[in-house]
Chain A
Amino acid sequence: MNQAEMTAELGRILSPERVLSGPAHDRAYDCDAYTVDRSRPQVVVLPESTAEAAAVVAWCHRHAVPFTPRGAGTGLSGGSLAALGGVVISTKRMTKILSVDVENRRLRAQAGAVNLRLSQAVAAHGLHFAPDPSSQSVSTLGGNIAENSGGPHTLKYGVTVQHVSGLTLVGFDGRVIELQEGPGLDLLSLVVGSEGTLGLVTEAEVRLTPNPEHVVTLLASFAQVRSATETVAAIIQAGVIPAALEMMDHGIMEAVRAAFGLRFPAEARALLLIECDGSPDRVGPEVETVARICRDHACLELAEAADSAERARLWTARKKGVGALGRIAPTLVTHDGVIPRSKLPDMLDAVDRIGAEFGLKVANIFHAGDGNLHPIFCFDDREPGVVDRVVAAGEKIMRLCIEWGGSVTGEHGIGVEKLDLISLMFDEDDLALQRRAQSIFHNDSGVNPCKIIPNQKGCVEHMKRWRGVAT
């Protein structure tokens, strides 16, 4: 079946204006935020309901056409790369919040609803949706579910799977499956984090979290990176579970200083953003403990937000840090790995060494509280050979993460990016177990193939592309 025929048939199932094809759409949908790899879809469709999505998937199954779900396309591991000859099913016309139940702290929304909009919808009731990835102003509930998204507050509040109480999944052949929390097999926990490989999530019911009574936000600066990382370790060991514990190094500080005029002590090489929340009687002692530990580790300056405006200002370095790097280099690649928190000081030293070894500038932002690091390589992709060095440096960091008992991905997922690396973490028996789990839902190579599990060949047309020049 050629593209014209597909477009026509799917146009009859949905409506012609919601079936996209052609060069402009190819480019718009040929990658997500993992831009080093691209794959053109045959067709992009925009269903508006579970029924429409199911009809599309059923059609794909009948015609042996693979499909790939796509939310906002902010994914960082290529999870929404189109399959060869495949359909991309976008959820961007399924953005409705369907119901809000304040008393029971539940909200039901379509998968294309934007993460931040969920919290905004219930803010007046003193509630929010806890998972807060950096992409939250754009990323969708469905995408958060696919990647089991985290964010700065996961240390205390958990990741997306802890906040999903039900969902609607369109299975491999278009069947509609309702999953709900309960005492039986926890299939919800398989679908959350499944990166769109078990079916297409069209709706979800989420748990809402009461806003904390009291929040204190601190920003500590340190002259040595190691002082900051050792502070993180000490805070955890002291039995404090802060709501957020984020670290930024001098690479980020340089960028936000230039971009936003933020000022830090001249000798500062690392920042720690620490947030404590809860009841006033618990927060006070927690903050005192944290402040004492910062001082014990020679912090240069410890700022405490006096109000919500100042809180927003203190968070700027964290929330706008990666964007600000755009002033420093035209191309950025953000890596994602996890190591035990106690290994943080050693890992940052290692990232520094690896950056130097490969001649690359690297800035570090991470969720220090759960050992989830994001080394960001800053370079110019026009420089010959630099991309290979970035990939090699990233792989070296990931190997250390595995060796030190961590994970190859804390948030971004395996996607296509880490198909090789997952084999370093899991052996053949472990991968066989992964295949068994997938086979509960289907044995169909049409459901977002070539993601997560390696050795599925030839199902994504990888076009490594820099500045429009395919290689």
Chain B
Amino acid sequence: MSPERWAAVKAEAAAWDVPSSGRFALGGSGTKSHFLPPPVDPVWRLPAPADPIIQWMPDDQVVVAWAGASVADLQAILAEKGQCLPLPQTGHPDVDGRPGTLGGLAAMNLPHGLEAQCGPVRDWILGVVVRLADGSVARAGSTAVKSVAGYDIHRLFAGSRGRLGIVAAVALRTFPIRALPTTSARAEGGSSDRVFICRTPRADFDDFRRRATRVIASDPASATLWLGAEPAGFQGWMIGPNGRLQPRPPEELDRQAKLRFDPEMRLNLHLES
């Protein structure tokens, strides 16, 4: 996408009625709210765009879309030309990655059942337009499938849970449907009102799965387990209900990141510990 087009996207995001003072939280469609603590500040949601697509280059397998668009709507449009975002569509919410809005998909970067074969959501993100709490709007990354110009801030925003700023638009690499692998993830019949997503070292996976109680789903290819009960000590990382993350990130750097991007501490503060 040309610099002029990026500028137009930024101008549109700059015009959104985001609160200009005071604290606020970001909300999407709520599909992943289980993994977050409830917001304590007023919730602001991205506008739902009339057309999810900002620019689509089907021949290049790259699309730029509004973060407020629903992933389902985007998938339907991409399918018209035999393309998709490579999320499983098994009907099992956890295996499918609980997609809601595109912004939420990016902000949460949850494991999904095609991660071993097609990468995490973060790997599909080529660029973003972000609006920070101070109102400034900027672009990181590009629509090139490969670029090393500057820091990969678009990758930093993936999985950042809205703590650093609002993702307004996302440039994504798409995938040909006809080449889509089959997921090796399986629903295992367990269910729960609590979900813990666990990523174990490959060598530990089988043993861990055997020992785990309340297995909701499993994916040996990516060594991921969705559990209905908190696992006893294990090597690996975990996303739990209510904002639980294990391990916790390095405290000093995490604090610096928040301070640099949201110095007035206005945004999504329910996610700060």
B242 CB contacts on chain A under 8 angstroms: none
A178 CB contacts on chain B under 8 angstroms: 250
Nearest-CB residue, chain B, relative to A433 = B138
B61 CB contacts on chain A under 8 angstroms: 236
A186 CB contacts on chain B under 8 angstroms: 122, 155-156, 158-160
Known: A148-B148, A429-B10. A182 touches B237 (CB 8 A): yes
Least Cβ distance of B259 to chain A in Å?
9
On chain A, which size bracket covers the interface? 35 or more
Q: Which of A233, A371, A433 contacts B146 (CB 8 A)?
A: A371
Least Cβ distance of B206 to chain A in Å?
11
A177 CB contacts on chain B under 8 angstroms: 250, 253
Roughly how many angstroms separate A148 CA and B218 CA in the complex, as a whole number?
A: 32
B178 CB contacts on chain A under 8 angstroms: 239
A190 CB contacts on chain B under 8 angstroms: 151-153, 155-156
Query: Residue among A154, A161, A240, A340 with the most chain B CB within 10 A?
Result: A340
* Segment at the interface with A among B1-9, B42-50, B184-192: B1-9
B2 contacts A181, C-beta separation under 8 Å = no
On chain B, which size bracket covers the interface? 35 or more
Least Cβ distance of B117 to chain A in Å?
11
Q: Which of A147, A162, A426 contacts B139 (CB 8 A)?
A: A426
Interface string of A413-449 (1 = CB under 8 A from B): 1100010001011110110111011111100000000
Nearest-CB residue, chain A, relative to B140 = A433
B250 contacts A187, C-beta separation under 8 Å = yes
Nearest-CB residue, chain A, relative to B150 = A434
B250 contacts A427, C-beta separation under 8 Å = no
B123 contacts A410, C-beta separation under 8 Å = no
Is A92 an interface position by the 8 A CB rule? no
Least Cβ distance of B69 to chain A in Å?
20
Nearest-CB residue, chain B, relative to A105 = B202
Is A65 an interface position by the 8 A CB rule? no
Roughly how many angstroms separate A265 CA and B70 CA in the complex, as a whole number?
A: 52
Known: A429-B10, A429-B137. A161 touches B144 (CB 8 A): no
Please provide the chain B residues from 175 to 226 with a CB less than 8 Å away from any CB of chain A in the complex. Answer: 176-179, 201-203
Q: Which of A241, A424, A452 contacts B179 (CB 8 A)?
A: A241
Nearest-CB residue, chain B, relative to A77 = B148
Interface string of A327-338 (1 = CB under 8 A from B): 000000000001
A410 contacts B148, C-beta separation under 8 Å = yes
A194 contacts B151, C-beta separation under 8 Å = yes
Please provide the chain A residues from 97 to 134 with a CB less than 8 Å away from any CB of chain B in the complex. Answer: 101, 103-105
Roughly how many angstroms separate A159 CA and B119 CA in the complex, as a whole number?
A: 12
Please provide the chain A residues from 386 to 413 with a CB less than 8 Å away from any CB of chain B in the complex. Answer: 402-413
A239 contacts B153, C-beta separation under 8 Å = no
Roughly how many angstroms separate A411 CA and B123 CA in the complex, as a whole number?
A: 17
Is A185 an interface position by the 8 A CB rule? yes
Residues of A within 8 A of B (CB): 101, 103-105, 147-148, 150, 154-155, 158-159, 161-162, 177-187, 189-190, 192-194, 233, 236-241, 338-342, 367, 370-372, 402-414, 418, 422, 424-427, 429-430, 432-434, 436-441, 452-453
Q: What are 24 A-B residue pairs whose CB atoms fall within 8 Å in the complex?
A: A154-B146, A161-B152, A177-B253, A184-B249, A185-B163, A186-B156, A187-B249, A187-B250, A190-B153, A190-B156, A193-B151, A236-B61, A340-B60, A341-B60, A342-B59, A370-B146, A371-B60, A405-B2, A407-B144, A432-B136, A432-B138, A437-B260, A452-B150, A452-B151
